[in-house]
């Protein structure tokens, strides 16, 4: 056997393949994201760039495990040994940076959303999405605190540095379509301005996003990109046309400050205002869907309840996937990288649950995220990944048991919302009957 043949044989036995992960992410997308950002590995390292991408995703999937365990469990080390010292894994993350994970998230989220858009019901031909912000805490380091800052109250500052993200979520599947990450001195509206709304969609906002400049821009950023939100109590408007007793086509003045920030804005902008009685109270909604014949007011009011799905999405990420823990990175660039990894990991799990829902013939929202994610992660945790065929086989076995993960239909909530009582600092003494 010649020297070149010996080298080829050694390389084939020592190079760990990522083909077993192709059930989750097409390897071409990882290579494309590395190529776009100029981060592809030129010389062969113990942890090549494409393996470090999966390391970052693995850190999100196995939040309770140290970095060395994740490297070993996912078999990411190049060479004859499976061991890699933790410092080498951290250095590999630093070399990779945040850009490839950001690029990979964009590739995956857009492709997977288009797939979901064709499969699930929508609102009169419009995909239903929601936008909201979320905050994570992170380890205290001087670098993190200087870059991100923290939330400030009236009398104190949060003890840990924090990072803010604003996400665009598909309310039918909980998949994240787009996301923007920034420091605490950037508000939710600032980050939301950078989101890319999908065409032929309606996005649900809370009242914090009411801004003429933002909402007009949201409509014009994509074809047939509409919005719906609760109307503020002090809304100033003039009625242009009455569609019915509780349905109005209105115009609203644009403030001088808004026109100063954006000189292209006119003096007024138009929308539709509807009023609906719910639980004995009049609720007002404002929307860009002007046509009252195509979009009835009761259907719009009912649709707004889906805005709560983004809150459920954040709960699944922070409480279940991240186990209510802080982010683990100690450098700002690695914080961004870690969060993009969290979003990718969450979308991977949600996509698998979508397939489980299709097999069980139910909505993806009826698959228990907590229990199903344990089942998926146990495949990665306990089953052998030496063969590329093992993972598809185990995932197919999981799909066959999809009915086990189905939740009952959601109950109709009829209890009034109340403010929780402040927990007592000291236990209450038991009073004697005598």
Q: What is the pLDDT of residues 105-158, one digit of tens each?
A: 999 999 999 988 888 878 999 999 999 999 999 999 999 999 999 988 767 788
Identify the CA nearest to 341 among candidates 23, 33, 56.
56
Does the pLDDT of residue 359 top 50, yes or no? yes
Which of 165, 166, 173 is CA-nearest to residue 129? 173
What SS3 class is residue 200? coil
Q: What is the DSSP letter of 93?
A: H
- Residues 287-297: tens digit of each pLDDT: 999 999 999 99
Q: Which domain holds residue 131?
A: 123-311
Residue 132 resides in a domain: yes
Is residue 299 assigned to a domain?
yes
- Domain membership flag for residue 111: no
Q: How many domains does the chain have?
A: 1
CB neighbour burial string for 198-208, b if at least 16 within 10 angstroms, e if fewer = beebbbbbbee
For range 366-378, the mean pLDDT? 94
Please report whether residue 249 resides in a domain: yes
Residue 180: inside a domain: yes
pLDDT more than 90, % of the chain: 67
For residue 86, tell me if it sits in a domain: no
- pLDDT bucket at 384, cuts 50 / 70 / 90: low
Sign of the CA dihedral 139, 314, 25, 20? positive
Say what the pTM is. 0.89
430 in any annotated domain: no
Contacts of residue 125, defined as CB under 8 A and 6 or more positions apart, other chains included, come to 200
pLDDT value of position 287: 97
Question: Domain for residue 206, yes or no?
Answer: yes
Residue 63: count of CB within 10 angstroms of its CB: 17
């Amino acid at each position: 056997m010649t020297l070149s043949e010996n080298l080829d044989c050694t390389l084939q036995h020592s190079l760990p393949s990522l083909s077993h992960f192709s059930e989750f992410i097409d390897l071409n997308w990882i290579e494309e994201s590395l190529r776009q950002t100029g981060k592809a590995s030129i010389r062969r390292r113990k942890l090549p760039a494409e393996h470090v991408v999966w390391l970052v995703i693995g850190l999100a999937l196995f939040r309770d495990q140290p970095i060395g365990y994740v490297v070993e469990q996912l078999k990411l080390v190049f060479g004859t040994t499976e061991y890699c010292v933790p410092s080498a894994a951290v250095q590999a993350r630093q070399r990779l940076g945040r850009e490839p994970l950001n690029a990979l998230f964009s590739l995956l989220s857009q492709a997977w959303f288009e797939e979901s858009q064709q499969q699930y019901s929508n609102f009169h031909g419009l995909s239903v999405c929601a936008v909201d912000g979320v905050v994570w805490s992170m380890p205290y380091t001087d670098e993190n605190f200087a870059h991100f800052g923290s939330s400030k109250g009236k009398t104190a500052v949060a003890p840990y540095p924090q990072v803010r993200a604003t996400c665009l979520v598909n309310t039918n599947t909980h998949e994240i379509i787009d996301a923007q990450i920034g420091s605490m001195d950037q508000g939710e509206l600032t980050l939301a301005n950078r989101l890319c709304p999908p065409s032929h969609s309606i996005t649900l906002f809370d009242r914090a996003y009411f801004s003429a400049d933002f909402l007009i821009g949201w409509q014009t950023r994509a074809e047939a990109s509409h919005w719906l939100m609760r109307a503020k109590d002090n809304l100033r408007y003039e009625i242009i046309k009455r569609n019915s007793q509780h349905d109005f086509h209105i115009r609203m003045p644009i403030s001088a400050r808004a026109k100063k920030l954006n000189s292209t804005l006119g003096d007024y902008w138009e929308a539709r205002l509807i009023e609906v009685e719910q639980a004995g109270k009049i609720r007002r909604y404002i929307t860009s869907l002007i046509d009252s014949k195509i979009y009835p007011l009761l259907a719009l009011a009912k649709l707004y309840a889906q805005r709560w799905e983004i809150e459920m999405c954040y709960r699944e990420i922070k409480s279940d996937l991240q186990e209510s823990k802080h982010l683990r990175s100690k450098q700002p660039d690695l914080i961004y990288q870690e969060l993009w990894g969290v979003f990718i990991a969450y979308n991977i799990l949600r996509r698998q649950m979508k397939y489980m829902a299709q097999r069980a013939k139910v909505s993806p929202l009826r698959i228990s995220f907590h229990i199903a994610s344990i089942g998926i992660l146990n495949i990665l945790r306990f089953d052998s990944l030496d063969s590329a065929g093992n993972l598809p086989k185990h995932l197919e076995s999981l799909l066959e048991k999809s009915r086990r993960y189905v939740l009952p239909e959601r109950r109709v909530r009829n209890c009034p919302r109340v403010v929780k009582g402040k927990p007592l600092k000291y236990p209450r003494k038991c009073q004697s009957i005598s």
